[in-house]
Amino acid sequence: MTFSVLAGLKKFKIPHNFVVKNIYEYYAKWIREGKLKVNSDWNKERKIKFTVQDPCQIVRKSYGDPIAEDLRFVVKSVVGEENFIDMVPNRSNNYCCGGGGGFLQSGYKDQRLAYGKLKDDQIQTTKADYCIAGCHNCHAQIHELSEHYGAGYGVVHLWTLICLSLGILGPREREYLRDDLKDVNVFHPEMEE
């Protein structure tokens, strides 16, 4: 959606007096300013490992490596720096998952999964327990890749992990999580006040 707005403004030369930003930039800003009080303590003993998918439309086609750095800052803030494993290649050079640009809904499932094998191999190489996907198409494609190729890694939305780290992830919002994340309940003393 962000790329569509940026591309549409440019292509159709639409006059505007606003700047199109991405939520990753705001998450990073709010964490740095102390407004979004995320916490990675929940994962200190669990040591659940995470990698992150760089969405093509946001990173490579729109904002480049600076937004990829903001994304990594947010991820490390919620899961712990020691529990983050980057894919290789990454950032603007990361591989497309094969689900974007309408491919997920195109009806060419066999071709989409065959293309996605490159991404599945890349994720499996990290040996991460989860792949964080900020994009809905990436999430659906990577989840299907994990099941199709039998890799067994989970796929989780960035927002889910932010809420989990804040201790505000509701019971029904945990239904799609694996057992290792379902029971995480971060306690923040300031929530008692």
| 8 assigned to some structural domain | no
| C-alpha–C-alpha distance, residues 164 and 78, integer Å | 8
Residue found under tokens 């760089």: 54
State the pLDDT confidence band at 188, using cuts at 50, 70 and 90.
Answer: very low
Domain coverage including residue 114:
23-191
State the pLDDT confidence band at 103, using cuts at 50, 70 and 90.
Answer: confident
Residue found under tokens 């490159």: 118
136, with CB counted inside 10 A (0-12, 13-18, 19+), is middle
**For position 185, what pLDDT does the model report?**
72
The mean-pLDDT minimum among 4-13, 45-54, 128-137 falls in 4-13
| 87 assigned to some structural domain | yes
Average pLDDT of the segment spanning 61-87: 95
| 11 assigned to some structural domain | no
- The b/e string for 141-159 (b: 16+ C-beta within 10 A; e otherwise) is bbbbbbeebeeebbbbbbe
- Please give the mean pLDDT across all residues of the chain: 91
| 70 assigned to some structural domain | yes
* Whole-number percent of the chain with pLDDT over 70: 96
Residue found under tokens 């997920």: 104
Q: Which of 3-7, 17-21, 124-128, 173-177 is predicted most confidently? A: 124-128
Question: What tokens were used for 66?
Answer: 């600076």
| 60 assigned to some structural domain | yes
| 113 assigned to some structural domain | yes
pLDDT for residue 7 is more than 60: yes
Render pLDDT for 115-161 as a digit per residue (tens, 0 to 9): 999 999 999 999 999 999 988 899 999 999 999 999 999 999 999 99
Q: What is the CATH number of the domain that holds 92?
A: 3.40.50
Q: Number of folded domains in the chain?
A: 1
| 3 assigned to some structural domain | no
| 44 assigned to some structural domain | yes
- Residue pair 120/144 in contact (Cβ under 8 Å)? The answer is no
| C-alpha–C-alpha distance, residues 143 and 23, integer Å | 22
The mean-pLDDT minimum among 67-71, 107-111, 178-182, 186-190 falls in 186-190
pLDDT for residue 51 is more than 70: yes
pLDDT for residue 187 is more than 60: no
**For position 191, what pLDDT does the model report?**
47
